[in-house]
Chains A and B, each alone.
Chain A
Amino acid sequence: MARVQEGDREACRVLLDDIGPMLANFLRRRIADRDEAEDLYQETLMAFFEARHTYQPSRPLEPWLFAIARNVAADHARHYWARASVEHLMDKLPEQSADDEPRSGPRLEEALARLPDQQRQAFSMVKLEGMSIEQAANRAGISVGALRVRAHRAYKALKKLIADYE
């Protein structure tokens, strides 16, 4: 990364090829729509490029990198929910009747999308990606205890969401 800051193009290509799959997985766990995930992937790489001067080589790369990716995903989630609430209001208009449409149970992705960003991230890393608590805490840049609390809260919230739906 230090060489990327010095303008070394080959080092930059190698680094991006190296972190690409990690970032793509990270975003796909958060974004159900593949096309949107690709857009966000591209946006995350650009944000990485624009923020490269803020990285301090003496510190680990992962918390810095995933903070950028988390922020891009959170921006997307904010827009998604703003759009969803407008659509929800539209659905409530009296002339629209959705009673005859059968309700399907929520997919895990939908339930996950309702969780706060930090809880969703903790749950995904530990339960879906199979990371150890220590690895997940390192990636999120928080303590093991804090990660444990987030994952537990996410689990409880998911249980409640699914129970409410049923």
Chain B
Amino acid sequence: MSETLKTARDHQTVHQETVARIVTSLQPVRRLWPLSWRLAVWALLEVAVLLFALHNTRRTDLEQQMQNLWYLLGVGGFVLAGSLGAALALHSAIPGREPRAVQSVLLMVLALGSALLILREPFKTNLLVTTFIQKGMPCAQGIVVLAAIPWVALIWAVRRGAPLSPGFGGAFIGVAAFLTSFAFMRLRCPIDEGAHLLVWHLLPALVGIALSAWAGWLLLTRRKNRWHPSER
């Protein structure tokens, strides 16, 4: 009985102390914009990146390719996966609205399905390694350049929230930025060869996603609160 009373009194003290500290520091906060607005802003940013990619395209057959169903499916699938990734990244920063497993599976299926379409492209085996590398390096750089600004914007947007799973949040941000970047590079790069797309487009995007998950773990981890018990 006395033990119970002691515990109850201890809890009451902890409660009152913590409430007093919170109430003393309470300031008005700017509420986060609704998810749909934030997603719309991200989409507008990606449209700007798309216009930049199209302005600098090296393709001369873009109009012709726009009538090719498989090409459109490949590009559209990655854009869709990227947009879903962005939505899930923004969801991951709102407690109680974290992505469900089924949504993550859907994202993976969509991305994998789109990636499999690359295998439909012809594979040339007679290319010189030096030529392969020379033609590929600018594409790998392009993937990173086109993903950079949307990635920074998303990581900032997610940090503004309260991400509860930093690693997953970072991975979703990476998926959003790099898969959309992959799609835009297909509009920019004139090479529709399987090995080139796998090594110089898809591989950098996958590395980017892995690094993004790591960066998310570093940048999105919840700060230990200032009044952590160990600091009392």
Residues in A lying within 8 Å of B, measured CB to CB: 4-7, 9, 12-13, 16-17, 20, 24, 34, 38-39, 41-43, 45-47, 49-56, 59, 63-68, 71, 141
CA distance A123 to B193 in the complex (A): 54
Closest chain A residue to B27, Cβ basis: A7
Q: How many A-B residue pairs have CB under 8 A?
A: 106
User: Whole-angstrom distance from the CB of B222 to the nearest CB of chain A?
Assistant: 7
Would you call B31 and A42 a contact (CB within 8 A)?
Answer: no
Distance in angstroms between the alpha carbons of A66 and B223 in the assembled complex: 19
Contact at A43–B14, with CB atoms within 8 Å? no
B contacts with A, residue count (CB < 8 A)? 34
B18 within 8 A of A: yes
- Which single member of B19, B22, B164 contacts A71 (CB below 8 Å)? B164
**Across the interface, do B95 and A67 meet the contact criterion of CB distance under 8 Å?**
yes
Can you pick out 20 interface pairs between chain A and chain B where the beta carbons lie within 8 Å of each other? A4-B26, A5-B28, A7-B27, A38-B11, A39-B229, A41-B15, A42-B229, A45-B22, A46-B22, A46-B225, A46-B228, A47-B222, A47-B225, A49-B22, A56-B34, A59-B96, A64-B95, A64-B96, A66-B96, A71-B95
Which residues on B are within 8 Å of A, measured CB to CB?
7, 10-11, 14-15, 18-19, 22-23, 25-32, 34, 93-98, 161-162, 164, 222-223, 225-229
B105 vs chain A, min Cβ distance (A):
15
Whether the Cβ atoms of A9 and B229 lie closer than 8 Å is no
Contact indicator B29/A53 (Cβ below 8 Å): yes
Please determine whether B18 and A42 come into contact, CB atoms closer than 8 angstroms: yes
Q: List residues of chain A with CB within 8 A of the CB of B28.
A: 5-7
**Given the complex, which residues of A lie within 8 Å of B226, measured CB to CB?**
46
Q: Is the CB of B26 within 8 A of A53?
A: no
* C-alpha spacing A45/B32, complex, angstroms: 20
Q: Is the CB of A67 within 8 A of B98?
A: yes
Q: Is the interface of B mostly helix, strand, loop or mixed?
A: loop
Most chain A Cβ neighbours within 10 Å, of B7, B95, B226:
B95
Inter-chain contact A52/B227, CB cutoff 8 Å: no
Q: Bound state CA distance, A13 and B96, in angstroms?
A: 23
- Whole-angstrom distance between the alpha carbons of A39 and B19 in the complex? 14
Contact A12 B23, beta carbon cutoff 8 Å: yes
Given A54-B162, A67-B95, A67-B164, CB of A46 within 8 Å of CB of B18: yes
With A42-B229, A45-B18 known to touch, is A9 a contact of B162 (CB < 8 Å)?
Answer: no
* Given contact pairs A42-B227, A51-B162, A67-B96, A5 touches B31 in the complex (Cβ within 8 A): yes
Contact at B19–A17, with CB atoms within 8 Å? Answer: yes
**Other CB < 8 Å A-B pairs besides A16-B18, A38-B14, A54-B93, 6 of them?**
A24-B15, A41-B15, A41-B18, A47-B225, A63-B96, A64-B97
Q: Decide yes or no: A53 and B31 within 8 Å by CB, A46-B227, A68-B95, A141-B96 being known contacts.
A: yes
